[in-house]
Each structure stands twice: as C-alpha cells, then as structure tokens.
C-alpha cells in the first residue's frame, strides 16, 4: 500500500483588512472586548467590488500549491473541496475549480464538514492515494463568511470571529516508508448540531417562506453559535483527537514538532498548548490576523508555518480540528 505526502501548499486571503475597530461601525464592541474573548485583532473580508468568491479564492490558492508541487493542472487526478459557504446552493465548488483551472474531466468531491472540513478532506484524499486509485489530489478549503454575517450588535458574538480566505494542498503518492500521512482520525456527534449552525434557508424552510414571514426577529438565516457550550466541548475533543493520533502511531506528546489546530479561538489553542506542555515554537496560530476561516484555517496556517521555515523535513506535524456538527478529528504527518 502506498502512502501520501503533501508536496505543494498555497493560500490566498482577500486584500481587504477589517480590524476590530472597523467593526464598531456596525455593532457595539471594542478591540479590547474581541481580543480578550477570541485573540483576534483583524480578519480579511472580501471586497464586493473584487472578483473574489469562495471558488475564485480556492482556485487562486490551488494554482500556488500546484506550482510548488512541481506539477501542472494536467497532473491532478482528483479534487476534494471543503467549504460551508459555496458560491451556489448547488452544484458545489469542486466542479468550479475544475473549470477555473481548465483541468481534464477529473472527479470533484465536495465536503461539508465546516471547521473539520480540511481534516476530513485530507483523510478522504489519503485513502484514494493509499489504495493506488489516484496519484495526485488537490485538496482545498475555502470560505466566504463575510457575505452571510449579521453585522449588528445582535450578531456580534459570531460576526467578530469569522474571516474569509482559502488554502490548498497537493497530496501525492509516496513510496518512502514512514513519511507522509501516518494516520487520520474522524468523529462526529450530531446531537449537538444546532449548537453551531445556520438553520435556513434550507429545504425545510425555503426562501419564499422566509420572505413571506417578513419577520425582523428571524435569525434563522444567520449563523448561530452557543459559544460557551462549543468552547467546553472543543477543548475536550481537541485533546482526545490529538491523543488518539499519537497513540495510534506509538508516539508521545514530546514527539510533536508542530501542532496546527483549527483557528477557532486563540483561547482554545492556548488551553491545548498548556495541556500538552508544548513550547511556543511547537504550536502555530494565525487567528489574530485572519479570524476563523473554518475549512480554510488549518491549511492557511500550515502553509504559513511551512513558508516561515517552522516545518522541516522529518518533523512530526499534528493537525487537529473541532467544529459544527459537532465534528472533530486529527491527522498525523511525518513531513
């Protein structure tokens, strides 16, 4: 059986920077209030005057990743695209990427696992490569949150957290023993689905019904998050997923060279860092600059860490995520 290795990385974020102070034009908040609760200083939001969309950003990140892998678009055998904010209700963004990059008629799979989207996508791609079905797979996480956030005091608990952006990785066949993805671990607990969700519009409550109701208090079409509840579960599940990945490979916490958690909240990442007794140079966070970019967060952070020389050959890299669903998981990589 083959193994799979990340051979190319890339990311793209919109140029438009939205600071915490900028948010005060829409809601009662402050830089101090936001930083204290989330660690976020600024985020990127798409400027509506630009061409950027979820798929466009994904394509921009993908071009960088493919070039860095030393490949061309024609070398890619399959696409896995993760997002909670597709350009269209259907079809998904994967086929848009295939078209935008002028690729052959390869398959394109969309993954809707929100904050765990990149972890799930990487795991799926890994299985295709391990079985020998594909050689090079493009894995993308991309989000346009700003187009659907409630820019008011009522919605600030969610709105201040999220940003836009995209990241991409090329996963390629590897025959070097002990290198690449060592294992992946995926979990879900759907009984908590409504604690972090966007309820409508959906096929249970479609657009005409919402318009006809004309209810100014209807928040079903804005994201809802029970922040304290999510936080409590996140710190538990993050830890479990990391421990599970280490144990599956006979490793200890001291073996971790770089932990890249999903950038949900800096306080969660700091809690996990303290629990695993990891030095600052062994955990990478960038939520202070980009906010929570959901399916894009891990791959953006992974790319930045690699660009900055913080990930080196033979390093043990652990990726972990928790989010809406609830879903969570981890991926253990020998770089």
Catalytic residues, by residue number, are 115, 262, 292
Decide which of 167 and 231 is more confident. Answer: 167
Residue 189 sits in the same domain as residue 107: no
pLDDT digits (tens, 9 = 90+) for 166-224: 999 999 999 888 999 999 999 999 999 888 887 777 677 676 676 666 677 766 667 78
Hey, what are 97's tokens? Answer: 């990427």
Q: Which residue, of 142, 174, 206, is where some domain finishes?
A: 174
pLDDT digits (tens, 9 = 90+) for 117-127: 999 999 999 99
Hey, what are 329's tokens? Answer: 């998981």
Distance CA(188)–CA(265), nearest Å, equals: 20
CATH number at residue 271: 3.40.47.10
Q: Which residue, of 174, 190, 222, is where some domain finishes?
A: 174
Distance CA(181)–CA(331), nearest Å, equals: 7
Residue 165 sits in the same domain as residue 186: no
Residue pair 277/220 in contact (Cβ under 8 Å)? The answer is: no
Distance CA(107)–CA(139), nearest Å, equals: 12
Distance CA(12)–CA(19), nearest Å, equals: 18
Give the DSSP H or E segment for 157: helix 156-159
Print the domain residue range for 142.
3-174
Residue 158 sits in the same domain as residue 305: no
Give the DSSP H or E segment for 137: strand 136-143
Q: Which residue, of 174, 193, 228, is where some domain finishes?
A: 174
In the chain, how many domains are there?
Answer: 2
- pTM equals 0.94
Decide which of 328 and 201 is more confident. Answer: 328
- 318 CB contacts (<8 Å, ≥6 apart)? 242, 245, 246, 256, 258, 259, 260, 330, 331, 332, 333
State yes or no: pLDDT of 73 exceeds 70: yes
Per the prediction, the chain carries an average pLDDT of 94
């Amino acid at each position: 059986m083959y193994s799979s290795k990340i051979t190319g990385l890339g990311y793209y974020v919109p140029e438009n920077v939205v600071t915490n102070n900028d948010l005060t034009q829409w809601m009662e908040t402050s830089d101090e209030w936001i930083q204290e609760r989330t660690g976020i200083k600024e985020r990127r939001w798409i400027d509506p005057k630009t061409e950027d969309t979820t798929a466009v950003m994904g394509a921009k990140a993908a071009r960088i990743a493919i070039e860095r892998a030393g490949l061309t678009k024609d070398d890619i055998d399959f696409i896995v695209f993760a997002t909670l904010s597709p350009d269209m209700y259907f079809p998904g963004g994967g086929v848009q990427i295939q078209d935008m990059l002028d690729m052959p008629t390869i398959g394109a799979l969309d993954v809707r696992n929100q904050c765990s989207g990149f972890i799930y996508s990487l795991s799926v791609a890994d299985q295709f490569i391990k079985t020998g079905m594909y050689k090079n797979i493009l894995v993308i996480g991309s989000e346009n949150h700003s187009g659907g956030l409630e820019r008011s005091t009522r919605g600030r608990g969610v709105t201040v957290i999220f940003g836009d952006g995209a990241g991409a990785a090329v996963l390629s066949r590897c025959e070097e023993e002990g290198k690449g993805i060592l294992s992946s671990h995926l979990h879900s607990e759907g009984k908590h689905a409504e604690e972090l969700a966007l309820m409508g519009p959906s096929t249970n409550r479609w657009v005409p019904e919402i318009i006809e109701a004309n209810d100014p208090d209807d928040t079903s079409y804005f994201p809802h998050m029970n922040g304290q509840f999510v936080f409590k579960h996140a710190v538990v599940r993050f830890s479990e997923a990391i421990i599970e990945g280490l144990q599956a490979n006979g490793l200890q916490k001291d073996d971790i060279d770089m932990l890249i958690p999903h950038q949900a909240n800096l306080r969660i990442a700091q809690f996990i860092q303290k629990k695993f007794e990891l030095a600052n140079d062994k955990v990478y966070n960038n939520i202070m600059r980009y906010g929570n970019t959901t399916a894009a967060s891990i791959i953006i952070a992974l790319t930045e860490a690699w660009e900055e020389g913080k990930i080196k050959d033979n390093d043990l890299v652990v990726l972990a995520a928790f989010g809406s669903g609830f879903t969570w998981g981890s991926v253990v990589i020998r770089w």
